[in-house]
Amino acid sequence: MRKIFWKVFFGSLFITLLFALLLLLFFVPSLKRSAVASEARLLRSMSEALTPLVVAKFQEGDQGSLSSLLKSVAQRGRVRITLLSPQGQVLADSSSFKGPWEIHLDRQEVGEALKNREGRSLRMSTTLKEKMLYVAERIEEGGRVLAVLRLSLSLKEVERLTAELERKIFLFSLLALLFVFGASWLFARSLSKPLEDLREAAERVAQGDYSTRLHPRSRDEVSLVAESFNSMTEGINALLGEVREERDRRETILRSLPQALGVVSERGEVLLANQAMERAAGGPLVGEVLTERFRMAGMDELLTKSRKLGEATTGELGGGGRIFSFSAVPLSGGRETVVILEEITEKKNLEKVKKELVVNVSHELRTPLTAIKGFVETLEEEVEDSAAQGHLGIIRRNVDRLVRIVEDLLLLSQLEDPREKLLLEPIDLRELLNNVSLLFTLKAKEKGLAYGLELPQEPLVLKADAFKLEQLFINLVDNAIKYTDHGGIVVRARKDRGRLVAEVEDSGLGIPPEHQPRIFDRFHVVDPSRSRRQGGTGLGLSLVKHIALLHGAEVEVKSEQGKGSLFRVLFSKEEES
């Protein structure tokens, strides 16, 4: 802001000095020229008035009275008058000079008068030794040049007045400079001080002091800027308060999250980590490479995949006897990635124990159930009492149900085992669905249901485990027949945009909306009493889901209560599978 001060200060001085120089260099000379021009007009007027008298004296031929006339007129007008012949000789002169006279033909004013009737010049007089103004006029009679009348005036008084004016202008300029010096200093100070305050306030704001305020002393444009500045800092202060509150709220949420959460840069460095993440890493994590602290196979590949695809990726990672559920979500721009780790070691161990328990219990139950079923069948053959036969039938049906539950549990445990391998081979989906339909055509006919099979002419080939895929559709068709009392069942297959799609549609009871999200859970049944009467185990759709997942397929359901259900299986495209 010092630059503004000096610019304003020196600018004012420069303008004042320039004005003074203009007065001295242009005004004074112009005034002097005006004074000389005024004197010249005076001399010309005197010459015009004197010319008739001079002509009269010439005609009289009185040389002595001519000189007296010139002296008389010159004394009254304080001028010098000279009468010259056309050859430049002095005929008469009002001065007291006695001669000898020079030939004045070379004088500028004389030459101009002889040539142009009038002449004028400004020069030093060789006779009087001072600067003079000369005005000459040619006198004629009958077309003949009689003489040249020259009047001259000393410019001593003009120059004295001009010098006095220059001195006064100089003094005035000096006083003006002194005044402008002080005024400019005060004005520049009053202008630069608020700007200096504004600059200092802006620097304090830049350093983080948002409580800075300006207090203008006057109501002008600078004060308006100061008020805008105060409004701006108040707005920034309020905004920062909101940002701090939001940051504190976010940090509180992050700290309270049970999951380990962090933000990772493109180079894998941790930019942000909550307490759960640092506990999982065993210490501070910000600034370190995530994959070096968590030495888990596959973590780097999942991070790279997430950045490359620009979408969330999930997986399970293990290392050091610990198992983590891993999620990576790229932020907008793809330069940073949110990582969520949740330790599921205990959960996995518990699942393993549960699976082993189910398998062991199922194996242990199979033998006694087989024995019970055998003895019940034997008793049914030997006992003739009708009441006893009815009781034995109930026992046999429940034993059969228990056997199916045990078999389904064993199969489900087998499907959930990661070591389970599919026996993949090319199969025609049409042929597989046709074989499944042969198993249920008679059963549907016994219930009075129509059974339709809609298959295309062209083969629908995919790589699959034929036995397990057949179990999937057996469960879907079996459920459709069990829960349909009128109408029918339709099984379809087609190719849709490069994917194979199979559907099982019925006109049965339908599934209430509140049950649809859980129908693939184990032992979840919509109507328990009907399921027991039909011999259902509650594991059929769970088996469907796991078999579909093993084949990389998706299962969708659309159902409306009282109108039926549609189960759709969508297989992966050939290049994806």
Tens place of pLDDT for every residue, the chain, 577 residues? 455 555 555 666 667 666 666 666 666 677 677 777 777 788 888 888 888 887 777 777 666 677 777 777 777 767 888 888 888 888 887 776 666 777 888 888 888 888 888 888 887 776 667 778 888 888 887 778 888 888 888 777 767 777 777 777 777 767 766 776 666 666 666 666 666 767 777 777 777 776 777 766 666 666 777 777 777 887 877 888 888 888 788 777 777 777 788 888 888 888 888 888 888 778 888 888 887 777 777 778 888 888 888 788 888 777 767 787 888 888 876 688 888 877 777 776 766 666 665 555 555 566 676 677 676 677 777 776 777 777 777 776 666 666 666 665 655 565 555 555 667 889 999 999 999 888 888 888 888 899 999 999 898 998 888 888 888 898 889 888 888 888 899 999 998 888 899 999 998 888 887 776 777 766 555 555 444 444 445 566 777 887 888 888 888 888 888 788 999 999 876 534 4
Whole-structure pTM value: 0.41
- Please report whether residue 222 resides in a domain: no
Domain boundary residue, one of 399, 416, 433: 416
Residue with structure tokens 């889901």? 545
Which distant-in-sequence residues (6+ apart) come within 8 Å of 548 by Cβ?
Answer: 472, 554, 555, 569
- Please report whether residue 243 resides in a domain: no
10 Å CB burial of residue 98 (0-12, 13-18, 19+) is exposed
Are residues 302 and 284 both part of a single domain? yes
Are residues 399 and 442 both part of a single domain? no
Residue 330, Cβ neighbours under 10 Å: how many?
A: 20
Domain encompassing residue 73 = 2-161
Are residues 354 and 336 both part of a single domain? no
Are residues 305 and 372 both part of a single domain? no
Element (H, E) at 161: helix 156-206
- Please report whether residue 385 resides in a domain: yes
- Domain containing residue 287: CATH number: 3.30.450.20
- Please report whether residue 181 resides in a domain: no
pLDDT at 270: 85
Are residues 399 and 461 both part of a single domain? no
- Paired strand residues for 83: 92, 149
Domain boundary residue, one of 161, 191, 207: 161
Phi and psi torsions of 299, nearest 5°: -65, -45
- Please report whether residue 224 resides in a domain: no
- The total number of structural domains in the chain stands at 4
pLDDT at 573: 61
Are residues 21 and 110 both part of a single domain? yes
pLDDT at 491: 92
pLDDT at 576: 42
Between the alpha carbon of residue 456 and those of residues 235, 374, 429, 433, 556, the distances in Å are 69, 46, 10, 12, 21
Task: List Cβ<8 Å contacts ≥24 apart for 223-230.
Answer: 223/194, 225/198, 226/194, 226/197, 226/198, 229/198, 229/201, 229/202
- Domain containing residue 394: CATH number: 1.10.287.130
**DSSP at 27:** I
The three-class DSSP label of residue 548 is helix
- Domain containing residue 560: CATH number: 3.30.565.10
Contact 480, 449 (CB under 8 A): no
Are residues 431 and 320 both part of a single domain? no
Domain boundary residue, one of 109, 128, 161: 161
Rounded distance between C-alpha atoms, residue 20 and residue 317, angstroms: 90
Residue 215, Cβ neighbours under 10 Å: how many?
A: 9
Residue with structure tokens 């002419």? 457
- Please report whether residue 56 resides in a domain: yes
Are residues 8 and 153 both part of a single domain? yes
Between the alpha carbon of residue 31 and those of residues 23, 41, 517, the distances in Å are 10, 15, 108
Are residues 519 and 550 both part of a single domain? yes
Are residues 462 and 318 both part of a single domain? no
Tokens of 286: 């910000």
- Please report whether residue 151 resides in a domain: yes
- Please report whether residue 79 resides in a domain: yes
Are residues 335 and 376 both part of a single domain? no
Are residues 157 and 15 both part of a single domain? yes
Rounded distance between C-alpha atoms, residue 517 and residue 524, angstroms: 11
